[in-house]
Structure 1
Amino acid sequence: MDVTPLVPQGRQVIEAYGDNGFRISGVRYDGSVLVLPDRTLNWAVATSEDITAESLVPVTDHEETELLLLGFGKRPVMLSQAFRDTLRSKGVSLEPMDTGAASRTYNVLLAEGRRVAAALIAVE
């Protein structure tokens, strides 16, 4: 039985992660990525310390984003309330988790038609 979520054509689906990169809709990306429903961007972030509100502007300025899944690599990191409030002021709710969980959750929410994006730190 196929349990792959049905995703509308042209949407970005995270197919695999690891080896310091991702395979998204058939394309290999090295390093960390920002995944929006309509495109994937390389993200110049290697650790949680590199994440700033400015590094997330392509996601927070995207009109389709209501929920951002933030994949911190192998373990989630607690974020300050000030950081969460900054994103919320732009209309984006934040869910921190490990990269694997964020990748899987993104695909499910995308298939449900949710206005979701993912910021994913690459893992080995």
Structure 2
Amino acid sequence: MTAPQGYVPGRFRIDDYGDGGFRFADMSHRGSILALPTGVRAIATASWKEIDAATIDLALSDSGGLDLFIVGTGKDLMPLASPLRARLRDAGVGCETMATGAAVRTYNMLLDEGRRVGALLIAV
């Protein structure tokens, strides 16, 4: 069975970001990503304003279980809508929102610690 297009199974550090994309798993991807314990998935979300319940539900259903979900909102820190935060809280998942650069660094640190962390990272 092959992986769906835009999906790489496994846990990967984000090696670099910028120029509209990310480097991980010895490859690069242009656009935003959803990095979960089960794999890294391309997502069409281009702005923090586009983060919706379907995106959060995908993260929750595809993650294999999370303790913390980090949202990288792009160049600047922007708020995640209260209903989306509530959706994560109701699932027992903590949520931290920050600019994408800080989100990448935090995600990598928690991944290195073996934590069950996921991240939605908006490309910058």
Q: Quick check: 1:33–1:120 contact (8 Å CA) kept in 2? A: yes
2:64 aligned with 1:42: no
Taking structure 2 as the reference length, the TM-score comes to 0.85
Question: 1: CA distance between counterparts of 2:101 and 2:80?
Answer: 18
Report the equivalent of 1:3: none
CA displacement at 1:63 relative to structure 2:
2.5
Q: Counterparts of 2:11 and 2:54 in 1: how far apart (Å)?
A: 25
The corresponding residue for 2:31 is 31
Corresponding residue for 2:89? 88
Partner of 1:118: 119
How many residue pairs match? The answer is 114
Q: Distance in 2 between matches of 1:54 and 1:81?
A: 15
Normalising by the residue count of structure 1, what TM-score does the alignment of the two structures yield?
0.85
3-state SS of 2:35 partner: strand
SS of structure 1 residue aligned to 2:59? helix
User: What is aligned with 1:99?
Assistant: 100
Partner SS, residue 82 of structure 1: helix
State the identity %: 44
* Cα distance per residue 1:75-100 (max 9 Å; x no partner): 11123333211111122211000000
Structure 2, gaps ≥5 residues long: 1-9
**Could you tell me how far apart the structure 2 residues matched to 1:104 and 1:83 are?**
23
Find the aligned partners of 1:73 and 1:115 in 2 and give their Cα distance. Answer: 23
Cα distance in 2 for residues equivalent to 1:43 and 1:102: 17
Aligned residue number for residue 15 of structure 1: 15
Aligned residues of 2:11 and 2:40 also touching (Cα < 8 A): no
Residue type at the aligned position of 1:19: D
- Residue 104 of structure 2 aligns to a residue in which SS? helix
Q: Amino acid of the residue matched to residue 104 of structure 2?
A: S
Instruction: Give a deviation string over 1:34-86, Cα, whole Å, max 9, x none.
Output: 01133110011001111012112231122231211100011111233332111
Give yes or no for contact 2:38–2:64 (8 Å, CA) kept in 1: no
